Amino acid sequence: MIESESNEESVLLNCLRSPQTYDFNHPFDLDKLKSLCTYHRIRPQLYELLKANPHLPEGFKSYLKEHRKQWTFRNLAFLREAQTINHAFDNAGIDILFYKGGLLSQKIYGDFSIRESCDLDIIVPPNKLLQVGELLTELGYKISRDPELWGKEVFVKADSEIEWFNEEKQITIDLHWRPNHPRTGLNFSFVDCIKHAQVYEFQNHDFTVMQAEFTFLLLACHRIKSPQRRLCHLLDLLTLSQKNTLDWNLIAQLSKEFDLQRVLSKTFTSILAIDPEIKTPNAISKILPPNWQNDHILNEDSHPLKPFREKDVSWFKKSLNFMLYSASNHDSVRKKISCNCYIFLRPSVEVMRKILLSPKLSYLYPLIIPFVYFQLALKKKN
């Protein structure tokens, strides 16, 4: 069940639905609204949407304007680092794709600085990870977690990304070798990404990015792969869907190829919750499940979601919920089922931190995983 919208959630959604005319008559707590905007990472986007609204409260406008300036400078630093990394990887002969971030902002909004980016997301070939690690080390980056797992075959198969941090520049690189975690069942590979990539020229540099249609599907998958969905990705999808340049026939074709019809149903349910005037393209309507707009599971995407919370439950129930959450990588099992995939016995990083088996013994993981999850769950009881 979805919790009732708070006053601040109602205000935020109404801002997005009618950015030029919303009158802000609904009562709200400014600090709570600021926190909500921070969580959803939409402050620069929201400022651009609302700055011409004559009803925008001055305190809220000043807050958004200040963060618009801050993220402009921050994203310029990311752009300089993206150029450095792009040049280094090109000289090393390693393929690299830039994913989300400022380049996506430039493609969607025509402005590199309008999306909040806490890191640089790049996708690299999984068979070049050790070489990539050496290159990042030369550039001043250090691996942020699980150094004992780095480079292990089972870790590469079980995970999808790891962060590297440059302390001097205060920049984090989110290094992917696939764009989605394998336990979500949304398994685009590096080869899939390269197949649907294009060269994007920006400020006299050539960057490799995903085509707009493939980007749309990646963003749609990114929104549903965890319970911490944010409205920033929904705004990206909304803006993309409003453009006349997308090839919806190609998106429909790719959706069938990767079995993402239910994912698209969730996406368009969310888009229509913000802008009901958007027409679902005919090519997409033809592949969506029957009665997709009335699907109870899909309706939960209409609201800005907050992290998974548990109130007034016993430690045993908390432990059980933790095991299910860890095993499914979702806050509810039905979301995994709705993606046509439920991988309960695939080893997670939590399991590998406890027990790292050689590839020849990986068949033993299904026997070990339940015991590791139970042990982890017991630690959560307090």
Number of structural domains in the chain: 1
pLDDT of residue 369: 76
Which uninterrupted H or E stretch holds 200?
strand 197-202
Q: How far apart are CA 264 and CA 253, in angstroms?
A: 12
- Determine, yes or no, domain membership for 146: no
pLDDT of 367 above 90? no
- Determine, yes or no, domain membership for 365: yes
- Determine, yes or no, domain membership for 345: yes
| Range(s) of the domain holding residue 349 | 315-379
| Sign of CA pseudo-dihedral 133, 138, 143, 148 | positive
Terminal-residue alpha carbon distance, the chain: 26
Burial per residue of 143-159, b for 16 or more beta-carbon CB atoms within 10 angstroms, e otherwise: beeeeebeebebbbebb
Written as six digits, the tokens of 10 are 């109602």
- Determine, yes or no, domain membership for 375: yes
pLDDT tens profile 86-133: 999 999 999 999 998 899 999 999 998 899 988 999 999 999 999 999
pLDDT of 3 above 80? no
pLDDT tens profile 48-64: 999 999 999 999 999 99
What pTM does this model have?
0.83
> Higher pLDDT residue, 241 or 313?
241
pLDDT band at 294 (very low <50, low <70, confident <90, very high): confident
Lowest mean pLDDT among 55-59, 216-220, 310-314, 352-356: 310-314
- Determine, yes or no, domain membership for 353: yes
- Determine, yes or no, domain membership for 1: no
- Determine, yes or no, domain membership for 227: no
pLDDT band at 298 (very low <50, low <70, confident <90, very high): very low
pLDDT of residue 158: 80
- Determine, yes or no, domain membership for 16: no
